Structure 1
Amino acid sequence: MNGDLGEKETRFLEKARQSLLASEDRLDAATLSRLREARAKALEAADEHNRGFFRIPNWMRVGAFATAAAAVMVFAIWVDPPKPELPVKSLDEFEMVLYADNLDIYEDMDFYEWLAEAGNNGGSA
């Protein structure tokens, strides 16, 4: 069936071609001249459109933009300025920061120091 459809299309195209060629012969010179001028203008406009932006296809421009954007992102992430270190004055402060969930102990530090001293003195206060 596909072979028949191809044959039908071929015959149709051939008849259309012959009909157009026959109608071209019947056109007067002024109409043919206007048609040729219109064709020349259309080809010139298409050529000017293709000359823009160094004749780079749209897909290539999009790819170049995506590559440049990715390079900027990588550069911005990679060349991140170093963060200054937080100064820790003593080991006690470091332990407080490290064990932040036990801050209740540090709030009652006086009590725990008194308790330790009382324990060292034999439990008598």
Structure 2
Amino acid sequence: MNIDKREKEFLQRIKQELDAGVEQLDPVTLARLKSGRMRALEKAHTGGWRFGDIPRWVTAGGFATVTVAVVAVSLWSAAPRRNMVAAHPEDTEIVASQEQFDLYDDLEFYRWLAENGDAR
């Protein structure tokens, strides 16, 4: 006995059992099954997509994604911004003027000069 013949016999027995089970169903269940089948066939023929056809898990997942995106954007845009405050008020003039930035290029030299300049 090859595999195809065994498989065919197996499928035939399953079909017989299912058909026997259908014959034993009560009339109310049969009517509900026929009604459901007719609605499914009618829906397949109309083919239109409606908002109510979306499963709940898809709408819940979409809502959660949108919520996370809104929270992330609001947190990012509402992040506190640090103001650059000078340690000493007299330093604001130096920082504000663009001319004096050349002084800071040689800052280490000026520090060395301040420490060692009087040591002649």
Q: TM-score, normalised by structure 1?
A: 0.39
Q: Which has the larger share of helix?
A: 1
Give the TM-score normalised by the residue count of structure 2: 0.40
